[in-house]
């Protein structure tokens, strides 16, 4: 039995933030019914296509384990079918622009009338406030949520992260909200609204930067590269590759960096492991030198310390460095390219990277479920073709017979 078996999700989401959420729920066994526009479907089916006339990887990698129904909710008959779907589902998830479902005639109050037990889950760009009606995408969320202002080097502009913390990050938050609301419904018997703003989600992931904003009022942030020779302003600054965890860390070059853009490794000069690190890089002398043998003494010379570490790492590959430092309990990690990750056998073995067969585009790689449950194993199934399950859903979920389905098609409702 799957963890969410018996839960049905009416999936009105599109693009990335919402589909991230509903895909996660589908992996755990929920029956996710993806509602799409007849003839068009989710916009990402046709975006960034690498193979002509087939669903893009953008779509397939965010919509595994779902069923697709096409539905025209502008038609009265389509609205009637949508109403019946609301009655038959546990959760309605959407990430439309603010007010879109209300304009369709399905306000939260109306949805509650139709199904008092339903969980109505939404992703929005902003919560209530001056920006709540603004449209938001990934990089906008990173910029308005504190991610960009705290990412990059001190002498450079704000930088957005490669990880999709705005879209996919908020989708993960929404999934937690949904399962929490479902759990509460077991006690209350009632549904409720679940709302996640992308700005809020990014700020949650920038929690340590809000920590540092408050610390800044009491003196310089000594683990930041601006200390001791630079200056601090009124806001949490960008810190390059500093670790941010109270222990000095930096990305240093490894052998082959001249031609390999990812021949780097991150090393944390943790106080507890500094003895082994100093010895292996040829600076045993630091251990007896009061200018180097305490964290406080090293703090003003972090740049010099990492320059010496880098002289050593440039003589070894990033994997050789790992092999040397790990037994010494020195925290470190190679900069792995997406190509390296996609080919990593251990990630294939755990289902974190999976190969999926698709009827029109052939096989492709995707990221599998990052959350592993011992009693709810995940089988990643391909994304649905547009409207592939329309008849099945109308029959199985709504109990419509062949004549009623034919009438709905003739009217353009599905």
Q: Hey, which residues are catalytic here?
A: 167
- Whole-number Å distance between alpha carbons of 249 and 266: 7
Residue 9 vs residues 77, 91, 138, 280, 288: alpha-carbon distances, Å: 21, 5, 24, 55, 64
The token duo for 336 is 């792995």
Please state whether the peptide bond connecting residue 333 to the residue before it is cis, i.e. omega within 30 degrees of 0: no
- Whole-number Å distance between alpha carbons of 375 and 380: 16
**Torsions phi, psi of 121, nearest 5?**
-110, 130
Residue among 61, 52, 51, 15 at smallest CA distance from 355:
61
Cα 228 off chain centre by: 35
- Whole-number Å distance between alpha carbons of 292 and 305: 9
Residue among 317, 309, 242, 243 at smallest CA distance from 274:
309
The burial class, CB within 10 Å (0-12 / 13-18 / 19+), for 198 is: buried
Cβ atoms of 22 and 121 closer than 8 Å? no
Q: How many angstroms separate the first and last alpha carbons of the chain?
A: 32
Cβ atoms of 120 and 190 closer than 8 Å? no
CA atoms within 13 A on the CB side of 125: 20
Matching residue, tokens 């599998």: 368
Cβ atoms of 179 and 107 closer than 8 Å? no
Work out the number of other CB atoms within 10 angstroms of the CB of residue 47: 12
Q: What is the CA radius of gyration of the chain?
A: 26
Matching residue, tokens 């003494």: 297
Strands (E), 100-258: 119-124, 193-197, 249-253
The token duo for 295 is 């964290």
Work out the number of other CB atoms within 10 angstroms of the CB of residue 148: 21
């Amino acid at each position: 039995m799957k963890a969410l078996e018996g839960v049905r999700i009416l999936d009105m989401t599109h693009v990335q933030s919402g589909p991230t959420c509903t895909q996660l729920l589908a992996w755990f066994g929920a029956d996710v019914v993806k509602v799409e526009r007849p003839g068009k479907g989710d916009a990402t089916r046709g975006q960034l296509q690498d193979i002509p006339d087939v669903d893009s990887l953008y779509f397939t990698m965010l919509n595994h384990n779902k069923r697709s129904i096409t539905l025209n909710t502008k038609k009265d008959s389509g609205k009637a079918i949508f109403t019946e779907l609301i009655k038959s589902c546990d959760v309605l998830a959407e990430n439309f622009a603010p007010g879109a479902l209300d304009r369709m005639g399905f306000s939260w109050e109306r949805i509650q009338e139709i199904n008092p037990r339903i969980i109505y889950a939404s992703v929005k760009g902003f919560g209530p406030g001056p920006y709540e009606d603004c449209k938001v995408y990934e990089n906008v969320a990173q910029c308005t949520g504190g991610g960009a202002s705290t990412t990059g080097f001190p002498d450079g502009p704000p930088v957005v992260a490669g990880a999709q913390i705005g879209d996919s990050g908020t989708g993960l938050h929404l999934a937690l909200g949904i399962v929490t609301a479902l759990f509460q419904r077991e006690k209350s018997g009632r549904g409720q609204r679940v709302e996640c703003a992308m700005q809020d989600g990014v700020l949650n992931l920038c929690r340590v930067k809000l920590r540092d904003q408050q610390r800044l009022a009491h003196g310089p942030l000594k683990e930041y590269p601006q200390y001791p020779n630079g200056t601090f302003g009124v806001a949490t600054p960008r810190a390059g590759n500093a670790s941010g965890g109270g222990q000095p860390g930096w990305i240093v070059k490894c052998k082959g960096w001249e031609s390999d853009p990812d021949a780097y490794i991150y090393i944390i000069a943790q106080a507890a492991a500094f003895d082994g690190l100093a010895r292996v890089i040829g600076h045993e002398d630091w251990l007896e030198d009061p200018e180097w043998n305490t964290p406080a003494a090293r703090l003003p010379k972090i740049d010099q310390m990492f320059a010496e570490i880098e002289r050593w790492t440039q003589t070894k590959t990033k994997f050789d460095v790992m092999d040397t430092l790990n037994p010494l309990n020195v925290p470190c990690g190679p900069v792995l390219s997406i190509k390296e990750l996609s080919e990593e056998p251990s990630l294939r073995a755990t289902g974190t990277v999976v190969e999926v067969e698709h009827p029109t585009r052939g096989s492709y790689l995707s990221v599998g479920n990052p959350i592993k449950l011992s009693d709810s194993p995940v089988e990643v199934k391909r994304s649905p073709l547009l409207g592939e399950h329309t008849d099945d859903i109308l029959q199985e979920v709504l109990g419509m017979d062949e004549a009623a389905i034919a009438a709905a098609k003739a009217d353009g409702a599905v």
